[in-house]
Amino acid sequence: MSNHSRTQSLVFGIPWPELNDGLFYSDVVPHSDSELTLIDFYSRKYKNSAPLQGWLQRIQNGQISVDGRVIKDPNTILSGDSVLVYHRLPWKEPDVPHLLEVLYEDDDMVALNKPSGLQVLPGGLFQQRTVLTQLCWSVKKQNSTLNSQETHPVPVHRLGRGTSGILLCAKTKVAKTRLAAYFADGTSLVGATSNRKAERSGTRKISKIYRALVTGILVDDKVIIDQPIGIVRYPGVAKGLYVASPSGKPALSKVEVLERDEKQNCTLVQVEIESGRPHQIRIHLSFIGHPLLGDPLYIAGGQPRCFDPELVDESFAQDGGYQRPMNPVPGDCGYYLHAHRLVLSHPTTNEMIYITAPLSTILQTSDEANGSPGSLSINSGN
């Protein structure tokens, strides 16, 4: 990536190593936890990471140090202000793409075309194989001989692991602050009073247009969905799962039908979101009875396919942590959703910037496919 305005295609990325670097987690024992045993400290504070037997295994493996010394006795009594370090051993992360296409770039920001399957930020199984890592590696590679302290671009909004398309990243602190505010302002307007909406009308700084392929045939050409989105407990998702919920936060999606395929019982739609709730499009379209084609998680009603909030799998993996959940989780792929167009006011010049991410064949209309058969093939993905 460069510091000059770029609209021509540029692809970058470094192949992933076989194993990641592992992780180190540090804690300082508060005085309120002094006199706790080592196993009590970890099994209580980090019960979402591993069950009791898993933490015992980690301690006995020598993966935890206290004030710089490896401790293998789980019944060691802790003292206030002691420094604990847990070493999560290196592991092979699931196979994911590593190449990223630059759609637009200038001194303040860069827009990437994220492939489906690649996670944006570290989390869960993916601590190294992320967009953020490739951005960091790219800057290090460019500046390896320049002794530069330049920081790498950082994403300023969410894009699900299975979602492809435009991901906007800031290259400066000013751009990061302003771009993040654009997204936050759009979300805050949804559910606002009519007077506040009127005051802020015409001030929206960013517009996001998605393409999606949904199951079933939408009858109406245009649909507005304003179902709130909230969080429920869900096995394998420590912070909870986002679902359609009357008590959730306001969310607004505008859906427009582009093409119907009666033969294959699916509909190609365009979706503009005016808020940015996690998994909003997947939840909203499933809420109205038209889940994204291939979505392993959300079903009609905006709820998960398998739902038992009391079910917890106590089995643990080789490293002591929980096994991968048997039920579908938000990061599972298989659906067809693409961030297709982005229009925004430039964070420093206020110039209107128009960015488009190319569509895969399955998300094109018959006309866009340049004479390809009118029906949509559902045998390929983006």
Strand stretches in 9-160, DSSP E: 10-12, 23-28, 64-66, 69-70, 83-88, 100-105, 109-114, 154-155
Residue 32 has φ and ψ, to the nearest 5°, of -70, -20
Question: Which position has the token pair 């009858």?
Answer: 219
d(CA 277, CA 378): 28
**Residues 6+ away with beta carbon under 8 Å from 310:** none
Q: Is residue 163 part of a domain?
A: no
Among candidate residues 88, 120, 143, the one where a domain is terminated: 88
* Cα atoms in the 13 Å half-sphere on the side-chain side of 1: 30
Q: Is residue 130 part of a domain?
A: no
Nearest in space to 320 (alpha carbons), one of 94, 96, 86: 86
Q: How far is CA 28 from CA 44, 52, 56, 63, 98, in A?
A: 15, 21, 20, 16, 36
What is the reported pLDDT for 318? Answer: 66
Q: What is the CATH number of the domain that holds 241?
A: 3.30.2350.10
Among candidate residues 35, 65, 88, the one where a domain is terminated: 88
pLDDT, tens digit, for every residue of 27-58?
A: 999 999 999 999 999 999 998 788 899 999 99
Q: Is residue 199 part of a domain?
A: no
103: which 2 tokens? 């759609």
Q: Is residue 129 part of a domain?
A: no
What is the reported pLDDT for 8? Answer: 54
Q: Is residue 318 part of a domain?
A: yes
d(CA 195, CA 129): 45
Nearest in space to 169 (alpha carbons), one of 153, 152, 185: 153
Q: Is residue 290 part of a domain?
A: yes
Q: What is the CATH number of the domain that holds 45?
A: 3.10.290.10
- Residue 276 banded pLDDT, cuts 50, 70, 90: confident
Nearest in space to 268 (alpha carbons), one of 330, 333, 360: 360
What is the reported pLDDT for 40? Answer: 97
Among candidate residues 306, 321, 339, the one where a domain is terminated: 339
Please compute the mean of the pLDDT values over residues 246-271 and round it to a whole number.
Answer: 97
Q: Report how many domains make up the chain.
A: 2
Which residue blocks in 220-299 are alpha helix, DSSP H?
A: 280-287
- Residue 274 banded pLDDT, cuts 50, 70, 90: confident
pLDDT, tens digit, for every residue of 22-34?
A: 999 999 999 999 9
What is the reported pLDDT for 325? Answer: 66
Question: Percent of the chain scored above 90 by pLDDT?
Answer: 73
d(CA 274, CA 99): 29
- Please give the angle made by the CA atoms of 373, 376 and 378, to the nearest 5 degrees: 130
SS3 354: strand
- Residue 147 banded pLDDT, cuts 50, 70, 90: low
Q: Is residue 288 part of a domain?
A: yes
Residue 139, by phi and psi: left (phi above 0), alpha (psi -120 to 50) or beta?
alpha
Domain interval for residue 284: 206-339
Q: Is residue 37 part of a domain?
A: yes
SS (H, E, C) 125-192: CECCCEHHHHHHHHHHHHCCCCCCCCCCCEECCCCCCCCEEEEEEECCHHHHHHHHHHHHHHHHHCCC
Please compute the mean of the pLDDT values over residues 8-15 and round it to a whole number.
Answer: 87
Please compute the mean of the pLDDT values over residues 329-353 and round it to a whole number.
Answer: 96
